[in-house]
Amino acid sequence: MSYLATEKQTALSAVTLASKLTEKIFRSLAGASTVSKDDKSPVTIADFGAQALVNAVLARDFPEDPVVGEEDSAVLQGNTELKAKVWDLVRGVVEEGLPGLIKDEEEMCAMIDRGSYAGSDKGRMWALDPIDGTKGFLRGGQYAVCLALIKDGEVELGVIGCPNLPVDKTAGIEAEGVERGIITHAIKGQGSFQRSLHSDSGDAQVTMRTISSTAEATFCESVESGHSAHTTQHSIATALGITAPSVRMDSQSKYASIARGSGDIYLRLPVSATYEEKIWDHASGVVIVEEAGGKVTDMFGKRLDFGMGRTLRANKGVIAAPVGVHGRVMEVVRGVMGDNIVAK
């Protein structure tokens, strides 16, 4: 068997299960139950449910591996009604497909809390974002279920479930009447692939577009202005000679998108001097883009360091671009930003 083949199978089945749960929740509740966390980001019953399922599958197959997951069960422990609601949905999925995987509400909370690992630059750990782009999920837009395996601070395996991305990479994200739902995955050194979330059509290799000049590029950008510096980004686009309008979407779907050539460059410039990017917001995206012919660094050209804890505290900003133009993009970012650390 090839390197990490078992881990890949586990990660794919966990992400598939969780992605389908989020779709079911969206259909049945349309975002009805939302709570706000201290960082002001919304968390839905889907975030909790997806984290419980993924962690339960990881606990079954790799009980020794620690997990850095975004959510914890504190809010649920203090809200019996919400806890019962999440359990009702999770139990449905478990009974249908994996009887016995999680036995009751308490075990579900314990599974969610298996994501509390502090992170390390030694050994294996998983990074999990049960729903990345929670706001995108709530508005029926792009969101992603993201799981990565990190060893000694380097991402070795990444899986991103994007339930709302068209299977056909040439279809626009707003296209109507197209099949939606993909899973993108990559193992370091083995290429990037996508498969359908709902049909058994197998894996297709994906690659970034090879562009000879940045003028041919399209930016893939955040929707939320609080997370993204649209003004600075516009100046950078102009300096790079980019004329195509940006593709805007929430979540790590942006990494999955540029990895298959729908858009070319993803920039995430710091919008606050103190915010530290979370490892689960980037880990799977990085290996998927690199294996598709891309290069990912911070805005100073430094590799993202996943061994610093739960955040990327040794890095500032993210630049993801095809290998051939990454240097030029970084040069322009540095030029436009000047001495500023924070972009507008």
Ligand X SMILES: Nc1ncnc2c1ncn2[C@@H]1O[C@H](COP(=O)(O)OS(=O)(=O)O)[C@@H](OP(=O)(O)O)[C@H]1O
Of 320 and 329, which has the nearer Cβ to Mg ion? 320
Backbone φ and ψ of 236, nearest 5°:
-65, -45
Q: Which of 105, 113, 129, 290 binds ligand X (CB under 6 A)?
A: 129
Q: Which of 70, 156, 277, 290 binds Mg ion (CB under 5 A)?
A: 70
Kindly give, in sequence order, each residue whose CB lies less than 8 Å from that of residue 274, ignoring residues fewer than 6 positions away. Answer: none
Asked if 133 touches ligand X (CB under 6 A), the answer is yes
Q: Which of 7, 71, 113, 132 binds ligand X (CB under 6 A)?
A: 132
CB 97 within 8 A of CB 54: no
Asked if 272 touches ligand X (CB under 6 A), the answer is yes
Asked if 132 touches Mg ion (CB under 5 A), the answer is yes
* Catalytic residue (one of 16, 22, 44, 134): 134
Q: Among residues 177, 175, 151, which one has the least CA distance to residue 307?
A: 151
List the Cα angle 18/19/21 in 5-degree steps: 65
CB 187 within 8 A of CB 278: no
Least separation in angstroms between residue 210's CB and ligand X is: 25
CB 195 within 8 A of CB 201: yes
Segment 314-317 long-range contacts (CB within 8 Å, at least 24 positions apart): 315/277, 316/270, 316/341, 317/267, 317/268, 317/269, 317/270, 317/343
- Annotated active-site residue 274? The verdict is no
The residue type at 109: C
From 15-23, 127-135, 161-169, 230-238, span contacting ligand X (CB under 6 A) = 127-135
- Annotated active-site residue 47? The verdict is yes
182 in a known ligand binding site: no
Of 19 and 94, which has the nearer Cβ to ligand X? 19
Of 147 and 332, which has the nearer Cβ to Mg ion? 147
Residues marked as catalytic: 47, 134
Annotated binding site for Mg(2+): 70, 129, 131-132, 281
Residues that bind ligand X in the complex, under the rule CB under 6 A: 39, 41, 70, 129, 131-136, 222-224, 227-228, 250-251, 271-272, 275, 278, 281
